[in-house]
Amino acid sequence: MKNNSYVFGSGKYKYFPLESVFLNNPIHIATLYQVFFEKQKPGQVNNRLQLAIESLLEKIKALDSTKNCPYCKKAKVKFFLFPDYGPVNNKLLCCGDDACREHLKSARLGELHEINDFLLLISYLPKPQAQKIVSIFKMTHNNLAEAFA
Ligand SMILES: [Zn+2]
């Protein structure tokens, strides 16, 4: 564990480091982060937990995915399709290549989102949809345990 890691001092996850709470319950971290945004006044200095979540977000952003793109079968997946209607589907994924992105966009009406940005999206969604997106992140990153060890 990194020595500058944030450890919760109270609440349900008292004494747990931020990274392990993130691995076990990313929706909780996403919700905490959203609350900061809603409560923050202009010019207010970010608190320690908020800064720790921001560095966690950067770390997630820099993670490599471990799953191959279903279209080109060469590059690793980077995007998932967030459909305009209906549930998220964990098969609707693609890499960053333009042709693969076009292919995925033609599969269903919706928007492409970066898988590694999932934490910024899920706090606004109904729980089943959020959980589906978390499972996409987990299944495309078999390296999480090492990354956050
Ligand atoms: Zn591809």
Give the model's pLDDT for residue 37: 81
Q: How far is the CA of 135 from the centre of ligand 1 (A)?
A: 20
Q: Locate tokens 């980077």: which residue?
A: 78
Give the model's pLDDT for residue 57: 95
Rounded to the nearest 5°, which phi and psi values hold at 80? -125, 160
Q: How far is the CA of 99 from the centre of ligand 1 (A)?
A: 7
What is the DSSP pairing of strand 79-83 with strand 110-114? antiparallel
Per-residue pLDDT of the chain (149 residues; tens, 9 = 90+): 455 689 999 999 999 999 999 999 999 999 999 988 888 888 777 789 999 999 999 999 999 999 999 999 999 999 999 999 999 999 999 999 999 999 999 999 999 999 999 999 999 899 999 999 999 999 999 999 899 87
Q: How far is the CA of 118 from the centre of ligand 1 (A)?
A: 20
Token readout for 69 is: 């793109």
Q: How far is the CA of 69 from the centre of ligand 1 (A)?
A: 5
Q: Which residues make Cβ contacts (< 8 Å) with residue 12, sequence separation at least 6?
A: 28
Give the model's pLDDT for residue 74: 96
Q: How far is the CA of 140 from the centre of ligand 1 (A)?
A: 14
Give the model's pLDDT for residue 1: 46
Q: How far is the CA of 68 from the centre of ligand 1 (A)?
A: 8
